[in-house]
A and B are shown apart, each in its own frame.
Chain A
């Protein structure tokens, strides 16, 4: 067996700075010595905990080793280093994320910018879905931005392969605000549609510049979600009442078109159409990544902004070495 990279130059990595520490990993920034490429090293503590190698580390390695796409974070290397049993994951370094940008009110988003970010997110998730992988934790904080403006989906710690027909999945996934109604109802069987919902909510957040459905707790999330989008009924979602947590619901009517227009005053009618089909309550009717990518929204004017021309965070200033504060916030 010959190696695919035989003859490749010696690659070394430096660990320059610790930028974050979580329960099971420490994140360092560094460089790939031979080409000065910036990288992030996630050092995973093994053996320290009572249950061995953390499951999210397994998932991250398992899925990122397989997925290679411009809109998915690249796992460059996996290695164990001397003196420890720790596992090091070398990831490409991405200085910004969408959440920081959304919160930065000094940056103006043009409709074409939003279109570009949404397009890149959909391309990334389409690649996951066509490889039968569910991400299960999409949120602006996990959509990272490269120095050239490319958006990349990161954090595969909750990802998993699509379930088998007779298998129960846990409904306790996805950060609360981005959780699809079937998950709120405790569904044990779900598909790619949970990721599509999250993307719909992120789309709304990009337009509103504030979280669309910010529930205070799991119960409140149900209320906030259905107050905004209407309570699902047997009519628009057959058999919904059989889901475990479908009970004691306050019935809200679905929002009228005019209400939605008022809510998203800057959105075109086509943009609203896409938003509605991404946030369709019934997961069976929600649009897939393929349908979303083929949506008229992406062909109508204005064309999506080129990644390199997308707005960036000014706070970081010219020297990208200073954007450490953003990274610190990121959960490990």
Chain B
């Protein structure tokens, strides 16, 4: 800020829509108008909102390419966090940021950022440097490193950016050692530029729907313990959570709901014969025991999970395995043919899916139509230059308030039902 005196024109705009970009009307006395925008964070989206956003950033023809690249990038991040010894929750947050980034930023197929082969002919050295930085910024691996940097800071794991860069570049077989350290410097600038973009995409909301422990895998193990689930079934749940970690489900429902959804699936699948090395001696729970746990499980009173959100998670996870079982990590730990049914494992998920067909999931009436989505200012492409032109104000979203409202309706509905029954 150059001038320390004088007012900072700052507007908390009063429009009914938030996340909008509204021009502040110039008053007669005021100096030139300054753009002021209120940004409300939105940690979760419905599936139709996600679909709509992705249509804007990834052309239909490149969808497959995007997911292939995403898979590669996530493999890279996984190796990277293993090398620098970050806990798994950093990986989960990184994947969340990466997928969130491409909801609001165009995905471009990039040429390798290692080469300086830019198309335009730069007129000055500075311009040439800027071109190189821009090129780095398009590289999904560099974007991933930026996501990792912010995720590690948010998850209280401190590591110098340079160390992350060096390890990352080594994993990709990129020679980043030049005499002046130019490569690392350009890459660093690109990473920091992207970091500021991610900060705007998440609207400076570091809570991601919960104040503490948003890591599904850790919540899951704690929940299993609380429910008295044995090692082998906890392990199965954990494998599922590891598969699901790289999917966009984390953009749709909060992590504790994902954890409960996975546990409910595990209790229904009742897996046997997981290939594992540990706790061989431990007594396994019988299918009767698992049924008892399943019967007594109450999403809301035990884990504060609204049922519709858990159902949303269940359907998503089942769909995932119906389509991707052969590529999943879970698949590597299961025998090809299930001993009970004599069929392939995938049939268990298909069977479950048909049984769960009538689960009540989120009502998307308010966001199923394209026209409605188009009216949602939040989903408009975000103009990064705006923060340079004016002020943007960042606030926490009130999505949780919405969940509470849903719950309230649900409880009132239940009460009504009970009173109806008792009156009869």
Contacts and interface: CB of A to CB of B under 8 A. Distances in A.
Interface string B81-99: 0000001000000000000
Given A10-B11, A52-B161, A62-B207, A81 B1 contact: yes
A82 B12 contact: no
Contacts of B149: 51-52
Interface residues of B, number: 66
Interface in B1-30: 1-2, 4-19
A61 B192 contact: no
A167 to B, nearest CB: 7
B112 interface: no
Q: Which of A10, A61, A82, A167 has the most CB of B within 10 A?
A: A82
A161 B158 contact: no
Given A51-B160, A81-B391, A8 B196 contact: no
Contacts of A164: 213, 218
A65 B161 contact: no
Contact of B158 (A1, A55, A80, A167): A55
B272 interface: no
A5 B13 CA distance: 9
Contacts of A78: 204, 393-395
A162 B11 CA distance: 36
A269 interface: no
A16 interface: yes
Interface in B147-170: 149-150, 153-154, 156, 158, 160-162
Contacts of A10: 11-14
Interface string A9-25: 11111111110000000
B204 A61 contact: yes
Contacts of B161: 50-52
Contacts of A237: none
Contacts of B156: 55, 160-161
A86 B8 CA distance: 13
A161 B211 contact: yes
B421 interface: no
B188 interface: yes
Given A1-B19, A8-B12, A66-B211, A47 B154 contact: no
A14 B218 contact: no
Contact of A17 (B4, B195, B196): B4
Interface residues of A, number: 56
B18 A2 contact: yes
A15 B211 contact: no
Contact of A43 (B1, B10, B14, B205): B1
A11 B12 contact: yes
Nearest to B87: A167
A324 B53 CA distance: 49
A1 B149 CA distance: 31
Interface in B268-320: none
Contacts of A11: 10-12
Contact of B196 (A1, A58, A85): A85
Given A62-B154, A78-B204, A85-B387, A6 B396 contact: no
A55 B392 contact: no
Given A8-B14, A51-B160, A65-B207, A18 B4 contact: yes
A7 B16 CA distance: 8
B206 A82 contact: no
Given A6-B16, A161-B211, 20 more contacts: A1-B397, A1-B402, A2-B16, A10-B12, A13-B7, A14-B8, A33-B7, A50-B188, A52-B150, A52-B191, A58-B206, A66-B211, A79-B391, A79-B392, A80-B394, A82-B388, A83-B2, A160-B156, A161-B156, A164-B218
